[in-house]
Structure formats: C-alpha cells, structure tokens
Amino acid sequence: MAKLNENYQNLKESYLFSEIAHRVAKYTQENPDKKVIRLGIGDVTLPLESEVVDSMHKAVDEMGNASSFRGYGPEQGYDFLRNAIKDYYTRNGVSVELDEIFVSDGAKSDTGNITDLFSVDNVVLIPDPVYPVYVDTNTMNGRKIVYLDANAENGFLPLPDESVHADIIYICSPNNPTGAVYNKEQLKIWVDYALKNDAIILFDSAYEAFISDESLPRSIFAIEGAKQCAIEFCSLSKTAGFTGTRCGYTVVPKDLKVTASNGEVMYVNKMWNRRQTTKFNGVPYIVQRGAEAAFSKEGMEQAQKMIGYYKENAKIIADTLDKKNMKYFGGVNSPYIWFECPNNMDSWTFFDYLLTNAQVVGTPGAGFGTNGTNYFRLTSFGNKENTIEAMERFAKLF
Amino acid sequence: MAKLNENYQNLKESYLFSEIAHRVAKYTQENPDKKVIRLGIGDVTLPLESEVVDSMHKAVDEMGNASSFRGYGPEQGYDFLRNAIKDYYTRNGVSVELDEIFVSDGAKSDTGNITDLFSVDNVVLIPDPVYPVYVDTNTMNGRKIVYLDANAENGFLPLPDESVHADIIYICSPNNPTGAVYNKEQLKIWVDYALKNDAIILFDSAYEAFISDESLPRSIFAIEGAKQCAIEFCSLSKTAGFTGTRCGYTVVPKDLKVTASNGEVMYVNKMWNRRQTTKFNGVPYIVQRGAEAAFSKEGMEQAQKMIGYYKENAKIIADTLDKKNMKYFGGVNSPYIWFECPNNMDSWTFFDYLLTNAQVVGTPGAGFGTNGTNYFRLTSFGNKENTIEAMERFAKLF
C-alpha cells in the first residue's frame, strides 16, 4: 500500500491571509460606501522598471527566432546572470564565486527545497515570530523544531542561547515580519555559535535591498567565518518587483562541508548542485534576461527609485507612530513596520478595530507565531496617497 | 552537528551527457574539417511559435504598466491557464476539474518534488531503461527501488509482475528513451494492478503530443479507475517548444486518497496543494500567458506544425532503419527512436563507431539503465537537412 508522508498531518492550516480576506470581504459587503486601504500585503505594487521590460521584450524576440532560440539552459542559471549577481555582491563588498551562485524561481522555493539536503534528525532553531515557511517545511520533514523568543526586550533580534543546542538555524534579516535588522556584531555572534556547534545557518536575505544604513550587513558573507557555516537566500521579488516574475538566487559556499557518519566529507555546494540539476530545470531564459537587466547600472538605479518610493511610505507610517509615541520595530531599513497593538488588544481584535474604525487593513502578528499575538504588521508596499490617507485616519484614532 | 542527507552518497554520478560532450569535443578537435551532426539531444530546436511570442510581448507590457501589473499569483497557476489546460484535456476526451490541475515550471520539477508526499518506506517500481530522474529522486529519499525489465521481448512495454509488490509505480508513455507507447488495454492492466495493490501510479505524459494514433491514450485518465490511483505529469516543453521557457502541469485527482496509520484519510490533492503553496510561488505571469496562447486554437495549430516537423525527422530515421532491416522501437508516436546496436556492439562502442565513421552523435542506451547497455537512442529534434544527411551517412555504414 502506498504510504503518504504523515508529517503533513502535523501542519497547521495556513489560514492567515484567507481569514484576512474573509473579514475584509464581509466588511466591504456590509459597508459598500467605505474606502478600505490595504497596508497588510507583502507584495509589491509598482510595475516592472523599463530596463527589465525592454530586456524581456528582446529575449521574447530571441525565443521566437530560430537563430537565437534557446532550449534547456543550465539548471544553475546562465553565466550572464550569475556574473551579474557576483558583481552585485562585489559592489556590496562581498566576494562570492560564480559556482557558489544558484539562480532559482525564488527564495521561497529555495528555503523550502534546501531541507532536502538535511537528514531528519537535526534540531532546527527558528525565531518566533517568523515567516511561516521555515516552520512548515521542516514540519513536512518531521524535524524537531525549537523556537527562539524574539521580543521587544531583545529588539526582535534574539542572540544564541548557549544552553540550547541547534543544528540548523534560520535567520531572516531584515526580518519578516518585524523589520528588525541584525548588525555585524550580532551576526558575528551567530556565526561563532554556528561554528562552535557545527551548525548551519540558513540566512534569508530577501529584503537586503531595503538596507540603506551602510554599517548594517546586507549579506551574512560580510561576516568572517560565514562561508564555513552559512547558506544565503536572496530574491529579486522585493529588490526589483519580481514577485510575479519569479527570480531568486541562493549562495552555497564551497567551503561548507560536513563529515558523514562513514567519515566521508560531504560538500553542501555539490549536494545542492545535484539536487537542482536533478529536480529543477532552471529559470525561463526571458526571466533571466530581465533579472540581468535589473542588476545593470541603469536597472539598479531604477530599482533604487522603487525601493525609495516604498521607503517613503515606511517613513510616513513610522512618523505617525512616532508622533503618537507608539514604539515600533523596522520601518527604516525594511519595508515592514511592527508594533504592539494599543490598549492591550490582541492582534485579531486590533485588526477588526482598525478595519471598522479606520478602514485600514494590516496583518495580525498572531499569524507569524506566538510572540506576535499582541503585535501588528503594516507594510510600505501600498501607494503613497493611500498610505498618507491611511495614516491620517490611524492618527485620528489614537 | 548538522547532519546531511547521506542518501546523496548513494547517487551515481550523472555523467552521460558530459561524457558525450567530452567525446564529441575530443573528436571535433582532432578532426576540425568533419561536420558532426547531433541527433542525441532531447531538446527542441525550433523557435517559439508566433502566438506564444505575441502573447508574451503583451504580458511583458502589462507587467511594465501600473494598472495591469501583477505581483504574486496563485501558486497553482492562474485560472485562465488552468481553464485552457482543462479544455485541452476535454478535447482529448478526458475530463479533469480545475482544482485538480497544478501549473508548474516543468514535469522534471514535479516528478522530483512529488516524492515529498510519500513516506520513505514505500517500494518504488521503476522500469529499466528509463528517464534517470525517477531513480535519482527516490535514491535521494532513501526509498527501496525495484526494477522492471523493459526489453525487446515485451516491446519495451512491460506489464505488472503479480509476484512483485510495489507501492509507487513510474510509467512514462510515450517512453523516454525507448519511444514505446502503451495502448489502453495495457494501461488498464496497470491501473487494475495499482488498485489491487493500493499503489499509486506516477504517469509521465510529457511526450503525449507526439501521439497521432487516436487509439492510443494520451492521458492515463482515459483509463477507467485511474483517478483512484494515478497522478499525471505533463509539459509544454516538447508540445510547444517550452524547454527554455519552462511550463508544465500536474493533475492530481481529488479521488486519490490513502488511509494513514491513525485511520485518518489523507487526500493527495490537498497534500500537493499544501506542498506547492508552501514551497513554490507559481510560474511567471508572462510564461503563463505564453502557455495559454499555446493551448489556443491557433496556438495548437502552430504547435502541431512543429510536432509534425519533428515527426518527419523521426520518419526519416525510421525509414532508414527499415531499409536496413534494423528493428527499432518508437519513432511513430514519439520523438525517440530506440534500436539495438548492430554487430553486437555495446552502446558506448557504437557511439564511438558512429561518431568516427559517420560523424553522427546519438545517446548510448547505457545511460538509461542496464537494459539499455546494447541499445542506442536517436532523436528527431534536429533540423531536417541534417537529419537527412545523418541518415544517408548511417545507411552507407551498414
């Protein structure tokens, strides 16, 4: 008899965004005259930049022409794009090699699929609150998960607890949902902990492009020793508005190795290469040309303008909270603003309160873990006029 | 200490195509004046059809415009494409529901990732010879694999051995590499065997568009009972030349269920939905619009012309083998022609012989399993003039 993976029985229903949609739909149906503004969404809204659009048009034409048509490409990504990514790292002061870069259809896929490389009997350390995919993908594999408290006391930037042993460690910085960003000294403590425990850090850097404070690390590989203990996941989703275009990349250092039970040294880079060449056929050529354009000088200037637009929204939200003396996290080097719900409301009560009284939609922190129960996430991915209006309404409430 | 998945130590190096490339490079370097013709490649060579190109240009423009920009789409694929796929099935006489269709970046990804849904302790039945991904992905998971002899005696279309128990069964029809196609009666025997053994059939239908004999099934769901025991993997790679554009789809029937050890009924469709929404973010919008166009009336006409072109090449190869009284498999309802190497040569010896004496490159059957040791694969994906010339040279040799 075929036996299914019964770990799936331990998954919680992922109802956060459907529950939000349900409550908003009910409210708008009952109040058709009210203008609801959505600041809950973690998705970009600005269109693709012209450099990317032009480049993809060119690539579409190439694919329609016998002399320039491309069939199967290298599963790891075309060298033109891997080189562009390598150069992007170099500009950010980090050196990575071409064959350490793997182009993919997004950081979500890679942070999920990377779990293929690990045995079941690893202890996985995951901060709470956090992006739910880390918990779900490890639950699917039946791994033991230990949680690390991220809270207001540690600025939602927890450091290792030396009394807790972990084999695999998830770090997301700038963080989704809290917007908090680790500095170099803090990340160094994590790298040292991983090296001491022979643990591997899975570093989710999907929001690195929102870091404008040059003292903050945009890559874990800016930290000495990280190439012996870390894998980094990046994405063009938020950097260049690729959420519907799908392109990310993962850096697996060639120095990262583990001795197997039979004494053989196994290299994670070689394993990921084998995984990707066996289970993946690469990113569409057209998309890779778009991504290459996003990394060009002009492309990066246009991307920076988009990020600047979103960061202005973040500032509008942050300024409002400042004026009301409400403490928040994120909002400066991140598209997310995270704050404690006022008046001791839990996050779903506050969701309803804000929707009903200000017609503003945010995301209840409870969706990201226990430590989010009394917190709320607003995002800067809306349009500017709406963000201003939403925060004016917000200000009047408190 | 982080523990890696040591099943990776049991993977064989996948050296087939690199070894071919190596031998061809050596030969051309030593014989720069000789024109080498490649009929080994399993990749399309004709450009994308104009319907697809036009549609993708339109989609690129939409993505560059604020009012029509699309961010994250549904992980399962947009309804416009799922409806087009549903209609395609209907035209082929098979009824599937919209939420049984999952759009993906290709059949290779899905046939690999589907293994996530199964526990380790399943016995997997895989024909030999076969597309190597089935073996590799199950080896990565540490599952027990039993092989099923496909050979000249059974026409490379083996039927179940009732004395062998299997939980998961891979069937690829039209087959890669043999080109053999199961008829309805044969597939019915497989479906009955699966139902009797509570096994699940993973049916790889990537080459279904090459079937022109209307009595042959293009989908396993043309067989009664299959919706209780089968999952089907399809692709636009060979149907519409999408190898570099990346779009496939998998059909997981809602009737497919297994009772877990705790008595709970688990539905494979729900599990795959959970897997894809957790570990995948959907196919690029631009590519989905291209795929939609490929399924349109005009798109299908253009796709049929491409397939017709490749099938003419297959006929050129088959006719040559017929004239020489060499028995072959495939070539009619498939892009592949599979034949025993002449003069008792093993497949690598024949590879060298053909390269040296006719400057024609094929694929040694040994790369697909033990039963391919003395067989050879030629493909119809080259251009017509080259195929004619290659087979003229071939004819002179024997």
Q: CA B286 to CA B291: how far, in whole Å?
A: 9
- B293 labeled binding residue: no
- Which residues from chain B sit within 8 angstroms of residue A277, using beta carbons? 14
Asked if residue A233 lies in contact with residue A110, where contact means CB atoms within 8 angstroms, the answer is yes
Is the predicted pLDDT of residue A173 greater than 80, yes or no? yes
**Searching chain A, which residue's CA lies closest to the CA of residue B75?**
A244
Sign of the torsion angle spanned by Cα atoms B182, B183, B185, B187: positive
Q: What is the per-residue pLDDT for B78?
A: 98
What is the rounded average pLDDT of the residues A166-185? 98
pLDDT, tens only, A334-350: 999 999 999 999 999 99
pLDDT of A71-117, one tens digit each?
Answer: 999 999 999 999 999 999 999 999 999 999 999 999 999 999 999 99
- Closest to B175 in 3D by CA, of B374, B394, B365, B396: B365
Q: How far is CA A313 from CA A30, A309, A373, A389, A391, in A?
A: 29, 7, 25, 11, 10
Provide the pLDDT for residue A13: 79
- A4: closest chain B residue by CA: B118
**Parallel/antiparallel/unpaired status of strands A230-235 and A200-204:** parallel
Q: Answer for the pair B292, B303: CB distance below 8 angstroms, yes or no.
A: no
Q: How many residues does chain B have?
A: 398
* pLDDT (mean) for A184-205: 98
The confidence score (pLDDT) of residue B320 equals 97
Question: Which residues in chain A have Cβ-Cβ distances shorter than 8 Å to B287?
Answer: 284, 286-287
Give the count of beta carbons closer than 10 Å to the beta carbon of residue A6.
15
Q: Which residue of B has its CA nearest to A123?
A: B2
Query: What pLDDT, on the 0 to 100 scale, is given for residue A15?
Result: 74
Residue A92: predicted pLDDT: 94
Contact B44 A71 (CB under 8 A): yes
Task: Give B168's strand partners.
Answer: B124, B200
- Do strands A144-149 and A168-172 pair parallel, antiparallel, or not at all (unpaired)? unpaired
Distance from C-alpha of A338 to C-alpha of A62, rounded to nearest angstrom: 45
Q: Are strands A101-104 and A360-361 parallel, antiparallel or unpaired?
A: unpaired
Sign of CA dihedral A184, A299, A105, A383: positive
Domains parsed from chain A with CATH numbers? 13-42+299-397 (3.90.1150.10), 64-295 (3.40.640.10)
A377 annotated as belonging to a binding site for a ligand: yes
Nearest CA to CA, how far is B325 from chain A (Å)?
A: 34
Q: Is B141 annotated as a binding residue?
A: no
- Helix/strand/coil (H/E/C) assignment for every residue in chain A: CCCECHHHHHCCCCCHHHHHHHHHHHHHHHCCCCCCEECCCCCCCCCCCHHHHHHHHHHHHHHCCCCCCCCCCCCCCCHHHHHHHHHHHHHCCCCCCHHHEEEECCHHHHHHHHHHHECCCCEEEEEECCCCHHHHHHHHHCCEEEEEECCCCCCCCCCCCCCCCCCEEEEECCCCCCCCCCCHHHHHHHHHHHHHHCCEEEEECCCHHHCCCCCCCCCHHHCCCHHHCEEEEEECCCCCCCCCCCCEEEECCCCCEEECCCCCEEEHHHHHHHHHHHHCCCCCHHHHHHHHHHHCHHHHHHHHHHHHHHHHHHHHHHHHHHHCCCCEEECCCCCEEEEECHHHCCHHHHHHHHHHHHCEECEEHHHHCHHHCCEEEEECCCCHHHHHHHHHHHHHHC
Are the beta carbons of A244 and B60 separated by less than 8 Å? no
Residue contact A5–B282, C-beta within 8 A? no
Secondary structure (DSSP) of B324-359: TT--EEESSSSSEEEEEPGGG--HHHHHHHHHHHH-
pLDDT of amino acid B16:
86
Q: Which 8-state DSSP code applies to residue B8? A: G
Q: What is the ipTM of this complex?
A: 0.97
Among the residue ranges A14-18, A318-322, A347-351, the one predicted with the least confidence is A14-18
CA distance A8 to B118: 10
Q: Has residue A17 got a pLDDT over 90? A: no
Burial of B159 (0-12, 13-18, 19+ CB in 10 A): middle
Low-confidence ranges of chain B (pLDDT < 50): none
- Give the span between the Cα atoms of B261 and A382, in whole angstroms: 47
> Is some CB atom of chain B closer than 8 A to the CB atom of A151?
no
Pairing state between β B101-104 and B248-251 = antiparallel
Size of interface A-B (CB pairs under 8 A): 253
pLDDT in tens, A228-244: 999 999 999 999 999 99
Residue B12 has a pLDDT of 86
Nearest CB to A63; choose among B70, B136, B244: B244
Q: Within an 8 Å CB–CB cutoff, is residue A199 touching chain B?
A: yes
Contacts of B22 (CB under 8 A, 6+ apart): none
The closest CB to that of A167, out of B1, B106, B277, belongs to B1
Q: Do A277 and B57 touch (CB under 8 A)?
A: no
Shortest Cα distance, chain A CAs vs residue B320, angstroms: 27
Which chain A residues are closer than 8 Å to B13 by Cβ?
A: none
**Does the annotation list B244 as a binding residue?**
no
B386 close contact with A: CB closer than 8 A: no
